[in-house]
A and B are shown apart, each in its own frame.
Chain A
């Protein structure tokens, strides 16, 4: 019994040191990837690119696409999402070369191709902006179950703001929707899931 106590007294400091070393030097675990899914919604669409020419999801066959809906009068959430995507690209490194971001405007009446292009150019990202006829944008949003609604703001200089859903859609090389990320999904989880499609 006494021997066991003495042994424990010797062992405890080593266990403590080992635990400390583990905490200090263990590899930082990357966020686990989300499961890839199959959905019965989503699909190809054509809107107008920032050059004023027709632009389709299918232009990006062979690439992995991260799609989201936003608008340029949104100076908070949309830059925050684009900033997170920056982090995703940093995590992907060279693998990110086969990944493209599509930003579909849910405010096509104010987001002309030129305005959208200038806004997105401020981010050092491979991002393609799409806008177009409001009815066409509505149809695309509907196919992705992306809610959006312009709400007049009598108390704000913004004129109107657009309530919209914040999902980030992961689309594989064949144009199929494979996962939806919530607005608070960490960049590491997004990068790890993208990697499963590369």
Chain B
């Protein structure tokens, strides 16, 4: 069982959405759901949740080959009630780490936005069930221009992945 029951519908929707504009099922090709920002994702993965399984995180690189900045404003996941964009800053002198929820992350025109461990990331709360390594989760990214990017099958990796 790779996807939770409630994730299947989302995956099907994501596949339809991706298929509609001729992109790959895993959302790793150019894929703007409704012809909006031509942002695409690469290297998306989620970390398996840890006991007591009340939160999980996901990482990816977003590339924007377009001429205008794309602004990520939110995310949804079929197997988590809450999805947030988190930014992390580390003060170099004191090694003080500061993590905050934000409502916008910019993918610069012609550039990229990297979400990676120990840095900015997607955070999920109120999980429908534990996220276990080997599963896949469907994540949808929303942009300020109203477009969406559907990542139909994001692999969940072991807690020790980096």
Chain A contacts to B: CB under 8 angstroms:
72-77, 79-80, 82-84, 86-87, 115, 118-119, 121-124, 147, 153, 155-158, 161, 163-167, 182-183
B50 near A161: Cβ-Cβ < 8 Å:
no
- 26 CB-based A-B contacts, threshold 8 Å: A72-B50, A75-B56, A76-B118, A77-B88, A77-B99, A79-B117, A82-B159, A82-B160, A83-B161, A118-B51, A119-B50, A119-B52, A122-B50, A124-B160, A153-B100, A156-B84, A156-B100, A156-B123, A157-B84, A158-B55, A158-B125, A164-B96, A166-B96, A182-B95, A183-B95, A183-B97
Q: Which residues of A contact B52 (CB under 8 A)?
A: 115, 118-119
Q: Which residues of B contact A122 (CB under 8 A)?
A: 48, 50-51, 159
B67 within 8 A of A: no
Beta-carbon nearest neighbor of A163 in chain B: B98
B50 near A80: Cβ-Cβ < 8 Å:
no
Q: Which residues of A contact B86 (CB under 8 A)?
A: 76, 156
Q: Which residues of A contact B84 (CB under 8 A)?
A: 156-158
CB distance from B30 to the nearest CB of A (A): 28
The CA of A166 and the CA of B97, in the complex, are separated in Å by 7
Q: Which residues of B contact A77 (CB under 8 A)?
A: 88, 97, 99, 118
| Chain A proximity mask over B28-47: 1 for CB below 8 Å, otherwise 0 | 00000000000000000001
The CA of A153 and the CA of B94, in the complex, are separated in Å by 22
B160 near A76: Cβ-Cβ < 8 Å:
no
Chain B interface mostly: strand
CB distance from A91 to the nearest CB of B (A): 14
Given A75-B123, A155-B103; A165-B159 close (CB under 8 Å): no
Given A164-B96, A164-B97; A183-B90 close (CB under 8 Å): yes
Q: Which residues of B contact A118 (CB under 8 A)?
A: 51-52
Q: Which residues of A contact B50 (CB under 8 A)?
A: 72, 75, 79, 119, 122
A76 near B94: Cβ-Cβ < 8 Å:
no
Partner of B162, one of A75, A84, A165, A183: A84
In the A-B complex, list the 3 residue pairs whose CB atoms are closest, starting with the nearest: A118-B51, A156-B101, A157-B125
| Chain A proximity mask over B93-117: 1 for CB below 8 Å, otherwise 0 | 0111111110100000000000001
CB distance from A98 to the nearest CB of B (A): 21
Given A86-B160, A161-B99, A165-B94; A75-B55 close (CB under 8 Å): yes
Beta-carbon nearest neighbor of B89 in chain A: A163
A123 near B160: Cβ-Cβ < 8 Å:
yes
Q: Which residues of A contact B121 (CB under 8 A)?
A: 76
B47 near A75: Cβ-Cβ < 8 Å:
yes
A76 near B125: Cβ-Cβ < 8 Å:
no
A80 near B162: Cβ-Cβ < 8 Å:
yes
The CA of A124 and the CA of B133, in the complex, are separated in Å by 14
B49 within 8 A of A: yes
Among A83, A86, A119: residue with most chain B CB under 10 A: A83
